Amino acid sequence: MNVSSLLQDLHLSSSSPSPLPPITELLPRLQQQLIGAAGDSSKTRSLIGRLEQLFQTADPDRLFSPESGWAELRSTYSSLIGALVDSAALPLCQDDSGSLSAASYQSVPSRAVAVSSALTALLEQWAGLGVARGGGDGLLLALAPPICVFAVTHFQAQPWSSSASRAAARRLQEALLRAGGWRDSAVLLTGDDEGEDRGILGGVLDILQPQLTKDSWQRCAAVKLVFSWTLLQVTRPSLSPHLPRLLPPSLLFNDHYRPENVVLGVCCLHHIVLNTPAADLHQFNTAEVVYQALFKHLSTGEAAVVQPVLSCLLDLLLVFEKPPSSLGPSSCRRKPSRHDDVLRLVLTRMEAEHKVALRRVYAAALPLYIHRVGVSVCRHLQRVERVVLGYLEINDPPEETSRLKILEALQGTIRAAWPRMERRVHVLLRSLLRLLVDVSQDSQLHDSVRQQVMEQTTVCIRLLDACSHGTLQPLLQQVDSSCCSAEVLGCLAAVTMTTEP
C-alpha cells in the first residue's frame, strides 16, 4: 500500500499536489485520531498499524524534514510518541497494594506489540537516513527517553507482557540503540566515553520522577521495575551526579512493608553504595541515612530480606571505617565500631533463630564478617562460641550448608583470636567430636557432603590443637575403634600426625 492510499484510508488526503502533507501537519492529525479512538481497542490497533505502514513506506527525508525548524519537529514527534505510549499504558492500581489481577492486563500485550512495531519502523527509517548530529541528533535525544521507558516496561517477564510483546519490546530497544549509535543500554543512558553529552538518563528520570513519589509509586506496578533497571545500568562515575534523584526512590522501596519491594530497594541501595565515591556518600549524611535504613531490617524474619541487607552492609561499612582486620593486633584495643554493632546483632539473632532459611543466611554471612573484623572478633568470643555450639548440634540436610559455614566461621575465629581460644578448646572439641560421630553415622547424607563436613571438622580440631600447643594429641590418641567408626579414627589420626595447623 502506497502513501496516498494510506492517507485516503485515514481520511487524511490533502489538496496539495504532494502526496504527503508536511509532517508537522500530518502527525498532529494522526495523533488526534489516535486519542479519539482511545475507548475502542480494535480501532486503536488499526490506527497504530496504519501508522506503522506510513513510517515504513514514506520517504525518510519527508518524515524527518525540519521544514518549520527542529524545535517544531521535536514537539510534533514527542506528542505523537506520547499518544502512542499512552495507548498501551498499564492500568493504575487504586490503592497502595501495588498489584492488579492478571485479567486487568489482558489487553495490554497486544497493544504493546502494535506500538513497539510502529516505533521500531520509525527508528529504522531514522537509522537508514543517517541524519547528521546537531538538530537531528537533538530530535533523537528528545524522543529516546519515552521510547526507552516504554521498551523497558514491556520487555520484562511480568503479568502485563507476553512472549510476543517482550520480543517486540526488545526489538524496539535494539532499534533505538542502532538509531543513535549507542553500544548498549548503559551508554544509551550515560553517554559514551568521548565526553559528548548524549546520555538520556536525565530524560528518563524526568519521565519516572512524577510517578516515584511516596503516594504514587505503588499505583503503577511497572514504575519500580523501570527505575531499578535504569539504576542498575548506571555505574561509577556517572551515578554520582544523579544521586539526589536516584536515592529517594530506592529508600522508598526499602521502607515498604512488602518483602519483594524491600529486596528491590536494598538491591538499589547496594548498587548506589558500590558505584558512588565515599566522599559523595558522606555529603548530606547520605551514608548514615542508608545505614539506618538497612540496619533496621536485621530484626526482620524474612530470609529474602536479610541476605541482601547483610551483603550491602558489608560494603557500606567500608564507607564509614577501615576494616578492623587491616588495623593489626592493636585493633582489639580500639573502641567498638559499626562492624562490631552489626556482628553483635547478627550473633544475637543467630542464637535465637529457628527458621532453617534464616539460619542458612546468617551462617553464610558469618565467615565474611569474622574475616572482616579480624582479631576484633575477640570482643564477641562468647557469642561466637554459643552460636557455633548451637549450629553444630542441628543437622541441615541435604547439603549441610549451615554446619559447613559455621565450621568455616570457627576456623576464621581460631586463626584470628588464637591466643584467646585455649580456654575454650575442650568445650569446642567435645562438640566437634560429636559432629564427627553423628555425620559418620548419618546414612542419609551423600558421601561427598559427609566427606566435606568431616574434612572441615578435622581442620578445626587441628587448629584447636595448635592453639593448645599440642595438648589435644594425647587425648585423641586414646580413642579406639570401640568408640567410633574407622572414618572418625582416620580423621583423628590426621590430626595426631600433624604438628602444624
Domain positions in the chain are 1-233
What confidence score (pLDDT) does residue 361 get?
Answer: 97
18, pLDDT greater than 80: no
Residue 351 CB coordination number (10 Å): 13
Residue 444 CB coordination number (10 Å): 9
Average pLDDT over residues 298-309: 94
Percent of the chain with pLDDT over 70: 89
What confidence score (pLDDT) does residue 13 get?
Answer: 53
**Closest C-alpha to 114, from 217, 207, 220, 34:** 34
Report how far residue 385's alpha carbon sits from residue 420's, in angstroms, rounded to the nearest whole number.
12
List the single range of 272-276, 387-391, 488-492 with lowest mean pLDDT. 488-492
What confidence score (pLDDT) does residue 17 get?
Answer: 47
Going by pLDDT thresholds of 50, 70 and 90, the confidence category of residue 144 is very high
Going by pLDDT thresholds of 50, 70 and 90, the confidence category of residue 193 is low
Mean pLDDT over each residue of the chain, to the nearest integer: 87
Q: Are 284 and 238 in contact (CB under 8 A)?
A: no
What confidence score (pLDDT) does residue 484 get?
Answer: 75
Residues 179, 182, 184, 185, CA torsion sign: negative
137, pLDDT greater than 80: no
Distance of CA 193 to the CA centre of its chain: 25
What confidence score (pLDDT) does residue 330 get?
Answer: 58
User: 486 is written with which cell numbers?
Assistant: 574407622
Residue 45, amino acid = R
What confidence score (pLDDT) does residue 470 get?
Answer: 78
User: 264 is written with which cell numbers?
Assistant: 528491590
Query: How would you label 186-213 residue by residue, b for 16+ Cβ within 10 Å and e otherwise?
Result: bbbbbbeeeeeebbbbebbbebbeebbe
Which range, 211-215, 322-326, 485-489, is most confident? 211-215
What confidence score (pLDDT) does residue 39 get?
Answer: 72
What confidence score (pLDDT) does residue 329 get?
Answer: 62
User: 435 is written with which cell numbers?
Assistant: 559432629
Higher pLDDT: 130 or 436? It is 436
User: 286 is written with which cell numbers?
Assistant: 547520605
67, pLDDT greater than 50: yes
97, pLDDT greater than 70: no
Which range, 7-21, 39-53, 485-499, is most confident? 39-53
Residue 154 CB coordination number (10 Å): 29
**Closest C-alpha to 363, from 378, 347, 374:** 347
**Closest C-alpha to 276, from 236, 233, 309:** 236
